[in-house]
Structure 1
Amino acid sequence: MKRIVLITGASRGIGAETARVLGQRGDHVIVNYREKRKRAETIAAQIVAAGGSASVAGADIADPDSAAGLMAAVIADFGRLDVLILNASGGLERDAAPDYAMRLNRDAQTRLARLAVPHLPPGGRIVFVTSHQAHFSRTRPVPAGYEPIAASKRAGEDALRAMIPEFTSSGIDFTVVSGDMIDGTIIVRLLERRDPEAVTGRRAHGQLPTVEEFATAVADATTVTAEPGHTIHVGGADFAAAHQVENRWRRTESHASIA
């Protein structure tokens, strides 16, 4: 039986490529879009043409009524949801309201997760997609202009992690996928205009992951066996090294406290 997979913000970039990967693997992929219906339909048509199964669903997940309508439509059409990939994010848009980043990157994520929980079966998955610039924002410098996004996405991750007991009690797995700046994404293009040195600095640490590489990691996260809240890191060897050091420090601190 095909899994039913809902991917938010899937009409372009990482979400669209993740949809293609999972479509090729045999899942039915629901391509969520906010405004670009034609673009979402093109992605779905490509998946179907390649032998996969896909449909589209329009909704602004930052709007509570729209998000509720999205989940209701998915359940009405398919009777269940097996995987929710929380990919949609934003806040760098030119006309975005001051609170938009937090409403989208934190509030919308937890709202949609709560809407999904009653319909996800035991063994169901929730995957949160983030960036190293947000995931490590408490301990690493953030590119100029990206601060509201980093803070809101980290807040979203923290809020979802606080829901892990609820997920676990329902038999739902939760995984985070964090990536370095992803070559070819709109975020990198915007940062290249606003803070080109930040992008150049990341490239100095090694080749940036491609959209295809990161999307494959997101797709893999829907089947990985790991502890709830496990984070998959993609690219950014320096971030990964810092993560290992921080983990060793936490373990040492914990042992010292116990002693």
Structure 2
Amino acid sequence: MTDLTGKSAIVTGSSRGIGAEVAKNLAAQGAGVVINYRQKAPRANKIVAGITEAGGRAVAVGSDLTTPEGPTALVDAAIENFGSLDVLVLNASGGMESGLGEDYALRLNRDAQVSMLEAATAKMSPGSRVVFVTSHQAHFIDQVETMDAYEPVARSKRAGELALREFIPALEAKGIGFVVVSGDMIEGTITATLLDRAEPGAIEARRAAAGKLYSVVEFGAEVAAMVTADVPTGHTEYVGGAGDFLKK
């Protein structure tokens, strides 16, 4: 795909942060976008309102991806509202929240990603694309240690990426592309906030090591760009580089 006019996209976890920025970018390029939220309907509706006021197309759908019916609800919304499903951005992640169970990180970052992929690609046509959003800390967790508070999230996200990559041959057979976008810690995300709360100074230390940390707006634009980028399936895009990780 080089043009999103008339296409449609699901962006998981898009009522705020990176997902919201990705959704706004895709809508600005002509895609109808399904905005996914788990609990905060007013926040999601605000994103939809901003997109429609700018002349775009969007709909908000409440859906918990860790439930059996969650992924299907998003796919149905894309088809019913926009007539097709051409792009899936797997942005939703978590695991540092409290009160959601010890296995929540794995259920969301691996199991729900696979369920969402299966539900979406059953309806996607040749030429469509799936983009999985991860972090350098997760992508390289088997080679580079990360902060203690983030390790369960990192390992579950890496497990999710590996599980998704197993589908590449089947996706290729259907003409569906698969791309991974990996970024460093992102300024202003809930994960960065929780991490800095758990380990004060962690974000500043990472900023010093990396030289620069992307903002939510900057990273969201980079993720959106990979939806139409001319890259082979299975490609990993290291946003901002990953020099100190790649050296390990």
- Shorter-chain TM-score range: over 0.9
Q: For structure 1, which runs of at least 5 residues remain unmatched after alignment?
A: 247-259
Residue aligning to 1:257:
none
Residue aligning to 2:243:
240
1:1-259 paired onto structure 2 within 5 Å: 1-205=5-209, 206-235=211-240, 237=241, 239-240=242-243, 242-243=245-246, 245=247
Deviates more, 1:150-159 or 1:92-101: 92-101
The CA deviation string for residues 96-143 of structure 1, in whole angstroms up to 9 with x for no partner, is 201111010000001110111121111101000011111111111111
The CA deviation string for residues 136-166 of structure 1, in whole angstroms up to 9 with x for no partner, is 1111111121111001000000001111001
Q: What fraction of aligned residue pairs are identical, expressed as a percent? A: 49
Q: Which amino acid aligns with 1:167?
A: L
Q: In the aligned structure 1, how far is the partner of 2:81 from the partner of 2:193? A: 37
Q: 1:72 Cα shift?
A: 2.7
Q: For structure 2, which runs of at least 5 residues remain unmatched after alignment?
A: none
Larger radius of gyration: 1
Residue aligning to 1:251:
none
Q: Report the CA distance shift for 1:67/1:17 in structure 2 as closer, same or farther (over 3 A).
A: same
User: Are the aligned partners of 1:233 and 1:240 in contact in 2 as well (CA < 8 Å)?
Assistant: no
User: Are the aligned partners of 1:125 and 1:173 in contact in 2 as well (CA < 8 Å)?
Assistant: yes
User: Are the aligned partners of 1:15 and 1:215 in contact in 2 as well (CA < 8 Å)?
Assistant: yes
Residue aligning to 1:249:
none
How many pairs align? Answer: 243
Q: Which amino acid aligns with 1:211?
A: V
Deviates more, 1:194-203 or 1:155-164: 194-203
TM-score, reference length from structure 2: 0.94
Q: In the aligned structure 1, how far is the partner of 2:81 from the partner of 2:56? A: 18
Q: Which amino acid aligns with 1:60?
A: D
Q: Which amino acid aligns with 2:16?
A: R
The CA deviation string for residues 141-194 of structure 1, in whole angstroms up to 9 with x for no partner, is 111211110010000000011110011000000000110010111111111111
Q: In the aligned structure 2, how far is the partner of 1:74 from the partner of 1:53? A: 11
TM-score, reference length from structure 1: 0.90
User: Are the aligned partners of 1:144 and 1:194 in contact in 2 as well (CA < 8 Å)?
Assistant: no
Q: In the aligned structure 2, how far is the partner of 1:56 from the partner of 1:88? A: 15
Q: In the aligned structure 2, how far is the partner of 1:31 from the partner of 1:75? A: 14
When the two chains are superposed, the root-mean-square deviation of aligned CA atoms in Å is: 1.4
Q: Report the CA distance shift for 1:92/1:232 in structure 2 as closer, same or farther (over 3 A).
A: same
Q: In the aligned structure 1, how far is the partner of 2:60 from the partner of 2:193? A: 26
